[in-house]
Amino acid sequence: MPKKYSPHTGHRARMRQRLANTSPAGFADHEILEMLLYYTYARGDTNEIAHALIEAFGSVEGVLDADPARLQTVLGVGEGCAVFLTLLGEISRRYLAQKISDGAHDRAVLDSPEKVASYLALRFVGATKELAYVLLLDNSMRPLDCFPVSEGTVSGVSISVRDIAERAYTKKAAAVVLAHNHPGGVAVPSGEDISTTHRTREALALLGIPLIEHFVFSDRSYAPILCRFEEKPPESIAASPIFDKIKQNFYNRKGDRS
């Protein structure tokens, strides 16, 4: 008995041939997502799943930023697919950070709060959970290292002061900057943020390494914490221009946007 014709018969082969003949920039968001899902679904129609994901989360960015549990609420999305998309979102953020932080930027002199904030801000682009990063500087205020120390929930993160002190000592850092984010919130330091800053500063002081600032980032602003110790009111500064500049620099490098 002859097989019934389906409009999806040979669809994957046609999509792959189209990709071979043209640039992926010419594909719609759902088509790129559909083809990515080929690697988690050996067979079957991923076009419908891609459409459902875009509809549920509004955009590719929304899909890649979504929590794995929420991804699995979409019809057809299993645990393996959710894990794949979560990892894809994380690798995209790391690619963005490393693409912008090329050799020249990595060795730039970060001799002002604005330069330090701009350098750190790209670590939090697209983050939906609280993250904490430590920036180590040498005697010339150039980056020695910038590394994540923890990842939390959407409302909290735990920072290991010991890990920070050990890494700073091993790298022979001249100064340390701590930063974390409040995704979906405001750049207002919590009591725990201030307590962590005190503990970190005291631990590093025993090693003769100053903690020169602890920044709190939100989607729209950032604020330094250590100014509280100097009896100055914490100033919340608009962060959107920083994020906009980061994204614009990235797209200019890629040549995708003007």
Q: Each residue of 196-251: pLDDT tens digit?
A: 899 999 999 999 999 999 999 988 788 888 875 454 545 555 555 555 554 455 44
Share of the chain above pLDDT 70, in %: 77
pLDDT in tens, 34-89: 999 998 988 878 999 999 999 999 998 889 988 899 999 999 999 999 999 999 98
Q: Which fold has domain 103-253?
A: Cytidine Deaminase; domain 2 (3.40.140)
Which pLDDT value is given to residue 231?
A: 47
Which pLDDT value is given to residue 109?
A: 87
| Residue range(s) of every CATH 1.10.150 domain in the chain | 11-97
Over range 100-119, report the average pLDDT: 73
- Whether residue 12 is predicted with pLDDT greater than 60 in this model: the reply is yes
Which pLDDT value is given to residue 159?
A: 76
User: In this structure, how many other beta carbons lie within 10 angstroms of the beta carbon of residue 121?
Assistant: 21
- Whether residue 90 is predicted with pLDDT greater than 80 in this model: the reply is yes
Over range 78-106, report the average pLDDT: 77
Sheet order of strands, 143-151 included: 143-151, 131-137, 175-181, 211-217, 221-224, 237-238
More confident site: 16 or 96: 16
**Block residue for tokens 């994380």:** 90
| Residue range(s) of every CATH 3.40.140.10 domain in the chain | 103-253
Which stretches within the chain are classed as H helix? Answer: 11-21, 29-36, 47-57, 60-65, 68-71, 79-100, 103-106, 113-121, 161-170, 191-206, 240-254
Coil, strand, or helix at residue 147? strand
More confident site: 99 or 89: 89
CATH of 11-97 among 1.10.150, 1.20.1070, 1.10.3470, 1.25.40: 1.10.150
pLDDT in tens, 150-207: 765 544 556 788 889 999 999 999 999 999 999 888 888 888 888 889 999 999 999 9
- Whether residue 100 is predicted with pLDDT greater than 80 in this model: the reply is no
The pTM of this model reads 0.58
Q: What gap in Å lies between CA 173 and CA 204, rounded to an integer? A: 10
Which pLDDT value is given to residue 1?
A: 37
What are the φ and ψ backbone dihedral angles of 71, each rounded to 5 degrees? -60, -40
